[in-house]
């Protein structure tokens, strides 16, 4: 669908057009980053989320797209589609949630729109500026290393708690994703990284996006993947754990490349979030999981943001 | 509602924040214009509109906001909320409609999002650049003249045709609003204008927005208002005609100020769209309709874009 739309729109190739986390456009002499995300109640929000959380999440997923390019977010416009059954106070709470994240990252909310719709719909566009080297899906080069911020499976662990009927954990990443803005900027400014993506669609599918856009093979060391401790602590077996780490999605961490372990070490020491080297960029194509001498091709599947459901093809 | 949201968002005063047709933001050293509009099927589109027309309209209402600031639109991002019952071909048609208008005005579609929603929702953000003097709702000064592009009541005339069960007229302004981009740019570049707004909410309400933002009184010569010929030609009496011209809305013409008739004459001669001087900017407050020596305060009412309905307070 996105391919068909890109074709109809005659969108320029990324990063100037559709196909990366942000588009890089030129207004006058200035390059800027822009990205947009729409979230709808029936598809993207859980009924147990508070209105504040819905607002916070809508802001965060947009900010994460700027993070994945190594940019600094500057301004946002916010459109709210509001159903008849929502009260004024609910809408204010959504706005408060959006504003919290905007303030936290120094982003100004400069415009928006409010319209009557059948279900709650939050559409945000975020604009930002380049800070250094652009981090592109097409930027990976053979010889680089592959790394991720934070841990993988936090969103899945929380989802699994809720499935078991447990109370939601306050501040859990499932409803409160953390855009890795400062981490992206450090990578971009240092010049040691040339490719990044946020892994909301799952580690495997996100790696596939980089592999295809960069025409490289990615190899992931299965045992190096930093799986959320909460995941292993809840009786989830290791096959299931592997399935979740590769295919589940919902984590807003950055998967990125770097020139070397040494270079990354120097930059990572300035980050608040730990980073883990999980593999390497090689000549070839596809995404492989390796364990000892065994290599297995990872499937090109993950979370489908369109329907809010997993692609279990 | 918008006031409450502006407060929660701590949005800067216009034109840097919420409250004019666009926000003027700074990315690096560059000032740029940004605006966003969301349209939903149940609220903003007629069931007799084709998918192409829905797409064209969504693009046009966004472009009109750039026109009202005197800007040049540069890029757009397009989010589509797509209900299950829509076929792929329908979505392509919407995209084609959006693209037609983008191409026409030299605007690149650089990004977007597609999500599953309960009803068709089109959310577009348009970015542009300043071309000259900014045209602001707050820019009107006593001593200036007041003018409009085109004619008023085109949308109402078509609506009235449809109400009578007649076939829609091809290319009618009701479904195919015409953003006055080149007209706005000529006004902005020439420096003869300091205030503009598009009159989608109706002439009276739009004039009230300028009056309040600029702290001036606007006086409109009732007989000078260029009412659509189609409106008078369909047996609509003059009281009804006046009601429509002032309060109906749906026309995407520009209401603007200019330094003098002479200055406007020079600039207007380079426009494809006729402009008509309809009144003057005076010290004081409020919006008045004058006919001979009689002056009557116009009501502060018009079209409500939130619900897609007229405010008949």
Residue A125 lies in a domain: yes
B308/A64: higher pLDDT: A64
Percent of residues, chain A, with pLDDT higher than 90: 79
Residue A135 lies in a domain: no
Which member of A29, A75, A115 has the closest CB to residue B25? A75
pLDDT in tens, A189-242: 999 999 999 999 999 999 999 999 999 999 999 999 999 988 776 556 678 888
Which member of B99, B121, B127 has the closest CB to residue A9? B99
pLDDT for the residue B233: 65
A-B contacts at Cβ under 8 angstroms: 256
**One domain, residues B80 and B188:** no
Task: Answer yes or no: do A115 and B35 touch at CB < 8 A.
Answer: no
Residue B257 lies in a domain: yes
- Residue A297, min C-alpha distance to chain B (Å): 29
Q: Is the dihedral of CA A17, B24, A31, B67 positive or negative?
A: positive
Average pLDDT over residues B109-126: 96
Residue A140 lies in a domain: no
- ipTM at complex level: 0.93
Give the residue from B29, B36, B51, B100 with the most A CB atoms within 10 Å of its CB, the best one to mutate: B36
**One domain, residues B165 and B293:** yes
Asked if B115 has any chain A CB less than 8 Å from its own CB, the reply is: yes
State how far the Cα of A163 lies from the Cα of A157, in Å rounded to an integer: 10
**One domain, residues A165 and A286:** yes
Which CATH number is A70's domain given? 3.30.1330.10
Average pLDDT over residues A60-87: 97
B290, β-bridge pairs: B221, B295
Please give the DSSP secondary-structure letter assigned to residue A251: -
CB-CB contact of A111 with B22 (8 Å): yes
**One domain, residues B87 and B200:** no
Give the residue from A17, A87, A94, A110 with the most B CB atoms within 10 Å of its CB, the best one to mutate: A110
Residue at a domain's end among B76, B111, B129: B129
Residue A57 lies in a domain: yes
| Residue range of the domain that includes A222 | 145-310
CB-CB contact of B110 with B76 (8 Å): yes
B113, β-bridge pairs: B79
State how far the Cα of A212 lies from the Cα of B305, in Å rounded to an integer: 43
Asked if A110 has any chain B CB less than 8 Å from its own CB, the reply is: yes
B residues 223-242 lying closer than 8 A (beta carbon) to A: none
Residue B310 lies in a domain: no
Average pLDDT over residues A267-293: 97
Determine whether A283 is exposed, middle or buried from the number of CB atoms within 10 Å of its CB (0-12, 13-18, 19+): exposed
Residue A158 lies in a domain: yes
A93/A156: higher pLDDT: A93
Average pLDDT over residues A273-291: 97
pLDDT for the residue B313: 34
pLDDT in tens, A118-155: 999 999 999 999 999 999 999 999 999 999 999 999 99
Asked if A16 has any chain B CB less than 8 Å from its own CB, the reply is: yes
* Chain B residue with Cα closest to A10: B109
**One domain, residues B148 and B110:** no
Task: Answer yes or no: do B110 and A25 touch at CB < 8 A.
Answer: yes
**One domain, residues A269 and A155:** yes
pLDDT for the residue A146: 98
User: Which chain A residues are Cβ-neighbours of B30 within 8 angstroms?
Assistant: 27-30, 32
**One domain, residues A302 and A176:** yes
Percent of residues, chain B, with pLDDT higher than 90: 79
Asked if A311 has any chain B CB less than 8 Å from its own CB, the reply is: no
Which CATH number is B270's domain given? 3.90.650.10
**One domain, residues B103 and B158:** no
CB-CB contact of A111 with B17 (8 Å): yes
B residues 27-46 lying closer than 8 A (beta carbon) to A: 27-32, 34-40, 42-44
Q: Indicate the pLDDT class of residue B159, thresholds 50, 70 and 90.
A: confident
How do beta strands B217-221 and B287-291 pair? Answer: parallel
Helix B51-67 and helix B88-104, axial crossing angle in degrees, nearest 10: 30
Looking at the predicted structure, is the pLDDT value of residue A71 above 90? yes
pLDDT for the residue A234: 59
**One domain, residues B109 and B184:** no
**One domain, residues A89 and A190:** no
Looking at the predicted structure, is the pLDDT value of residue B53 above 80? yes
pLDDT in tens, A161-198: 888 888 888 878 899 999 999 999 999 999 999 999 99
**One domain, residues B69 and B141:** no
Which member of B27, B88, B305 has the closest CB to residue A32? B27
Residue at a domain's end among A129, A155, A173: A129
pLDDT in tens, B193-242: 999 999 999 999 999 999 999 999 999 999 999 999 887 765 566 788 88
pLDDT for the residue B310: 56
Mean pLDDT of chain B: 93
**One domain, residues B120 and B181:** no
State how far the Cα of A21 lies from the Cα of B86, in Å rounded to an integer: 26
pLDDT for the residue A313: 34
> Which among B201, B214, B196, B209 is positioned nearest to B267, based on CA atoms?
B196
Residue B308 lies in a domain: no
Average pLDDT over residues B135-150: 98
* Chain B residue with Cα closest to A12: B110
Q: Indicate the pLDDT class of residue A312, thresholds 50, 70 and 90.
A: very low
pTM of the model: 0.94
Q: Where are the beta strands (DSSP E) in B168-251?
A: 196-198, 217-221
Token pair for B53: 């027309």
How do beta strands A217-221 and A287-291 pair? Answer: parallel
Looking at the predicted structure, is the pLDDT value of residue A247 above 60? yes
State how far the Cα of A204 lies from the Cα of A313, in Å rounded to an integer: 14
Task: Answer yes or no: do A36 and B79 touch at CB < 8 A.
Answer: yes
Average pLDDT over residues B65-86: 97
Which member of B12, B17, B99 has the closest CB to residue A8? B99
> Which among B199, B36, B226 is positioned nearest to B121, based on CA atoms?
B36
- Residue B298, min C-alpha distance to chain A (Å): 26
Domain count for chain A: 2
Q: Indicate the pLDDT class of residue A309, thresholds 50, 70 and 90.
A: low
pLDDT for the residue B269: 96
State how far the Cα of A172 lies from the Cα of A160, in Å rounded to an integer: 12
Residue at a domain's end among A105, A129, A153: A129
pLDDT for the residue B29: 83
Token pair for A264: 């990354």
Task: Answer yes or no: do A18 and B129 touch at CB < 8 A.
Answer: no
């Amino acid at each position: 669908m996105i391919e068909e739309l890109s074709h109809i729109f005659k969108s320029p190739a990324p990063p100037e057009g559709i196909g990366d986390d942000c588009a890089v456009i030129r207004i006058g002499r200035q390059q800027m980053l822009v990205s947009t995300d729409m979230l709808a109640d029936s598809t993207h929000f859980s009924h147990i989320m508070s209105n504040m959380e819905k607002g916070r999440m809508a802001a965060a997923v947009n900010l994460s797209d700027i993070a994945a390019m190594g940019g600094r977010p500057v301004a946002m416009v916010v459109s709210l589609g509001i159903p008849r059954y929502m009260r004024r106070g609910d809408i204010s709470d959504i706005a408060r949630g959006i504003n919290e994240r905007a303030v936290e990252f120094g982003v100004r909310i400069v415009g928006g729109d409010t319209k009557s719709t059948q279900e709650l719909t939050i559409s945000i566009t975020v604009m930002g500026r380049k800070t250094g080297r652009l981090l592109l899906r097409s930027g990976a080069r053979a010889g680089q290393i592959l790394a991720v911020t934070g841990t993988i499976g936090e969103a899945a662990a929380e989802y699994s708690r809720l499935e078991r009927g447990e109370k939601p954990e306050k501040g859990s990443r499932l409803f409160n994703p953390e855009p890795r803005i400062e981490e992206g900027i450090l990578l971009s400014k240092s010049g040691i990284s040339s490719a990044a993506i946020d892994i909301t669609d799952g580690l495997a599918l996100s790696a596939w996006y980089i592999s295809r856009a960069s025409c490289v093979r990615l190899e992931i060391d299965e045992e190096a993947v930093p799986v959320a401790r909460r995941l292993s602590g809840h009786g989830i077996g290791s096959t299931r754990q592997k399935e979740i780490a590769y295919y589940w999605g919902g984590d807003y961490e950055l998967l990125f490349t770097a020139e070397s372990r040494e270079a990354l070490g120097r930059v990572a020491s300035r980050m608040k979030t730990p980073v883990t080297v999980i593999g390497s960029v090689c000549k070839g194509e596809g995404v492989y999981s390796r364990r000892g001498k065994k290599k297995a091709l990872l499937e090109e599947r993950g979370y489908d943001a369109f329907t809010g459901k997993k692609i279990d093809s």
